[in-house]
Amino acid sequence: MARAEIFSGICGFHTNVETSMNGSTCRVSIQSECKAIQQLAEALTEVSPFQEISHRRGTPKILQLGAQFCSHAACPAPVGIIKAVEIEAGLALPADVSIKLSKTGPS
């Protein structure tokens, strides 16, 4: 099982993802404080990992559902879900990702 703990930033919402392989598909379980990600979770119970790792096979299902349910384009939750799927499927090694944001100078 692979897990992802996602803190989305200024909105303050936490999302926890657990993934497990079932043959060639990956089961996805998502718990989130965010109503939009809760809706995404209801629609997303399993995916094909190879469909999720590249735009060359079309838009990944997780990103499609992210666009459908989450109005904030910069929400990191969909990408975090994809990372958990990659790790569970053996398509990536588990390593933390990070985005550090700051603002300097006048607006």
Query: How would you write the pLDDT of the chain (107 residues) with one tens digit per residue?
Result: 999 999 998 899 999 999 999 999 999 999 999 999 999 999 999 999 999 998 888 999 999 999 999 999 999 999 999 999 999 999 999 999 999 989 998 87
Fold of 2-88: Sufe protein. Chain: A (3.90.1010)
Which residues, in sequence order, are CB contacts of 12 under 8 Å at separation 6+? 33
User: What's the pTM value of the predicted model, to 2 decimals?
Assistant: 0.93
Q: For residue 40, give the nearest of 7, 93, 86, 80 by alpha carbon.
A: 80
